[in-house]
Amino acid sequence: MSWGYISAFWTTVVMSCMHPLNWEACLPVHEWLSPAIGDYIRLEEPYASEKRALEQFRLDGGQAEPGRRTNPRTID
């Protein structure tokens, strides 16, 4: 688990739930904690699914590095 996720959880959830105005939303822990844990388990690299979808449409099938030509033409 990354420290970035722990600190983000601490600052957004724990610190926000310490205010009495937020207790009504924070109290039913079963409604928000289990979906959040499920989201973390399924977490991938940001935009990983979008990257896979775009690679399917590339002419070279995603084999070459992005920005690199697969068939460079030389001008003589």
CA distance 55 to 37: 29
Q: Is residue 76 situated within a structural domain? A: no
Q: What is the pLDDT of residues 36-47, one digit of tens each?
A: 787 777 776 767
* Average pLDDT estimate for 61-76: 58
User: By 3-state DSSP, what share of the chain in percent is helix, strand and coil, each rounded to 5?
Assistant: 60, 0, 40
Q: Is residue 72 situated within a structural domain? A: no
Q: What is the pLDDT of residues 48-60, one digit of tens each?
A: 778 888 888 776 6
Domain containing residue 9: 3-57
Q: Is residue 7 situated within a structural domain? A: yes
Give the phi and the psi of residue 57 in degrees, each rounded to 5. -90, -5
Integer angstrom CA distances of residue 38 from 20, 35, 59: 27, 5, 35
pLDDT in the model for residue 72: 57
Q: Is residue 40 situated within a structural domain? A: yes
Asked if residues 23 and 17 have their Cβ atoms less than 8 Å apart, the reply is yes
pLDDT at position 63 over 70: no
Amino acid at position 34, single letter: S
